[in-house]
Amino acid sequence: MKVLHIDASALGTYSVTRGLTAAIVAEFVQSHPGAEVTYRDLHANPLAPWSMPVGDDNPTDIEAAKVMDEFLAADVVVIGAPMYNFSVSSTLKAWIDRIAVAGKTFSYTSAGPQGLAGGKRVVIASSRGGVYTEGPAASMDFQEPYLRAMFGFLGVTDIEFVRAEGIAMSDDHKTNAVGSAMASIGGLIRKAA
Ligand SMILES: Cc1cc2nc3c(=O)[nH]c(=O)nc-3n(C[C@H](O)[C@H](O)[C@H](O)COP(=O)(O)O)c2cc1C
């Protein structure tokens, strides 16, 4: 099994999503001995914004091809997705811009768009300061619905969220939110292993 582990938080050791993705990947490795993990830190090593390919020996194009190969090869993709300004971080968006490529991960047919990257499992560790699963801010969540739509567009049907929300509301709230997100990981991995 090949696991692709992606982090995108700018908050280093204070990051919630980095802790969650590490725990999710550790569970996968424990339950699938021999799992091969590829790691990408999109904050430490941000990808260049999308631009027209210029040639095979161009460093940006070489890196873009590597990003695509890693994604296509992965059986499981674990992504840390902090909510930034109601959406995903620009670093994660830059990665998405490299994996959403016509002819590789989707195509347009006479019947409409078709995803070509099915058969993978995508697990997203989501963290946000406020609460969006219910209440007045629910309509401002352009992070999780976007990710669900994006991977659905690419053909991924097996997508799950491990969520800590309301982490900026109080220390207690953060502790409880992160604790229950962490506690959900073992069951999630076992359920669909
Ligand atoms: C630049 C920035 C923008 C943020 N925007 C939002 C936001 O729009 N809504 C929200 O609820 N929290 C927002 N937050 C809080 C983060 O979602 C929260 O700290 C979350 O834990 C980030 O994930 P991380 O801890 O892995 O970095 C923002 C934080 C930062 C640093």
Residue 56 pLDDT greater than 80, yes or no: no
Pocket lining: 130 vs ligand 1, CB cutoff 6 Å: yes
Candidate of 83, 92, 161 to mutate for ligand 1, largest count of ligand atoms within 8 Å of Cβ: 83
Whose alpha carbon is nearest atom 4 of ligand 1? 84
Whose alpha carbon is nearest atom 1 of ligand 1? 84
Residue 193 pLDDT greater than 80, yes or no: no
Say how many Å lie between the CA of residue 119 and the centre of ligand 1: 31
pLDDT in tens, 64-123: 999 999 999 999 999 999 999 999 999 999 999 999 999 999 999 999 999 999 999 999
Helix axes 59-73, 90-99, angle to 10 degrees: 80
- On the CB side of 2, how many CA atoms lie within 13 Å of its CA? 12
Whose alpha carbon is nearest atom 15 of ligand 1? 129
Whose alpha carbon is nearest atom 29 of ligand 1? 84
Q: Which pLDDT score, from 0 to 100, does residue 114 have? A: 97
166 contacts 133 by C-beta, under 8 angstroms: no
* DSSP for residue 143: S
Q: Which pLDDT score, from 0 to 100, does residue 158 have? A: 96
pLDDT in tens, 12-55: 999 999 999 999 999 999 999 999 999 999 999 999 999 998 97
For 13-172, strand residue ranges (E) read 36-41, 76-82, 106-109, 112-115, 121-128, 158-165
Q: Which pLDDT score, from 0 to 100, does residue 192 have? A: 56
The CATH label, of 3.40.50.300, 3.40.640.10, 3.40.50.360, 3.40.50.720, for the domain at 2-191 is 3.40.50.360
The least confident of 47-51, 100-104, 176-180, 189-193 is 189-193
Say how many Å lie between the CA of residue 186 and the centre of ligand 1: 25
Ligand 1 atom with the shortest distance to the CA of 17 = 26
Instruction: Please report, for the chain, the start and end positions of each structural domain, with discontinuous segments joined by +.
Output: 2-191
Compute the distance between CA of residue 82 and CA of residue 99 in angstroms, rounded to an integer: 19
Pocket lining: 91 vs ligand 1, CB cutoff 6 Å: no
Extract the tokens encoding 170. 């109080």
